[in-house]
Amino acid sequence: MTTKPDHIELERRIHELEKILSEKQQNETLTHQFEDKFQTVFESANVGKSITLPDGTLNVNKAFSDMLGYTQKELESITWQALTPSDEVERIQKLVAPIRSGESDSIRFDKRYIHKDGTHIWADVSVSARRDSLGSLQHFITTIVDISERKQAEAELKKSEINLATLINGREESIWSIDQDYNFDVLNDYFKADFRNAFGLELKKGMSALDILNPELRALWEPLYTRAMQGERVVFEFSNPLEKKMHSFEVTLHPILSDGIITGVSAISIDNT
């Protein structure tokens, strides 16, 4: 026979139930407040934001859709794979694999996106995982920053460096430069070959232009470099044996200026023998 709980026990159970319901309502309120705050931040962000499901479907903010020339509505039916050049998809999948497996929760990388007009947009992409209480992946939160201008500048700088290297390596004069610490920065092939023939030393970027010299040559070159470091254009002649013959060189040192600040010295040596 089941004993009915007395009124005190009944009140205690009712109180516990009310407490559980109250806590549940508070949690639901906090959850709604958090979701509302998250949605506000998500939509108002001035960089691209995406909530990406494991199957690749997207929920994006306006900044991201504007970046790629779409409306937010248009991107609802598009996956990140469709917005990625085909030759990059496998690489991105491999990068994200540790997040899917639970080995990590975030990653950052550069990738290209396909703009609506067919051009490519370079982006700095940060991906983090959102998991449920059991650790299962629910979705990815992705932040996308347009770095196309930076990539273009890097490409132009690389092209400029290649052009400069081609130009100076095509000259039959010794050309080099040193930084503020008197370390070699740029050395053309002709200069490296001449120095190797004269002193048996292979010059490399970062080596000290003074420490490689014997005391007599250092006494000659150090004050000349210093004058150029102080802003003076220095022209002088010196002689040095090369391939068992004395050679006469005319050397010009120029201060290197960046925004009005001297950052090093460039040099050109012409063999007048």
CB 81 within 8 A of CB 88: no
What DSSP character marks residue 10? H
Q: Which residues of 222-240 are buried (b: 16+ CB within 10 A; e: fewer)?
A: eebbebbbeeeebeeeeee
Residues 85 and 114 sit within 8 Å (Cβ to Cβ): yes
How confident is the model at residue 133, as a pLDDT?
82
Q: Which ranges of the chain does DSSP label H, i.e. alpha helix?
A: 7-44, 62-68, 72-75, 86-101, 148-169, 189-199, 215-229
Q: What is the amino acid identity at position 91?
A: R
For residue 118, give every residue at least 6 positions away whose Cβ sits within 8 Å of its Cβ, in sequence order, or none. Answer: none
Contact 263, 231 (CB under 8 A): no
Percent of the chain residues past pLDDT 90, beyond the cut: 57
Query: What is the b/e burial string over 86-96, where b = at least 16 CB atoms within 10 angstroms of the residue's CB?
Result: eeeeeebeeeb
What does the pLDDT look like over 40-99, one tens digit per residue?
556 677 889 888 999 999 889 999 999 999 999 999 888 999 999 999 999 999 999 999
> Average model confidence (pLDDT) for the chain?
85
Does pTM surpass 0.85? no
Of 154, 164, 163, 218, the residue nearest 187 (C-alpha): 164
Measure Cα distances from 19 to 12, 14, 33, 36 in Å: 11, 9, 21, 25
Would you state the structure tokens that stand for residue 84, as one six-digit string?
């990625």
Mean pLDDT of 101-114: 94
Helix (H) / strand (E) containing 141: strand 137-146
* Percent of the chain whose predicted confidence (pLDDT) is above 70: 84
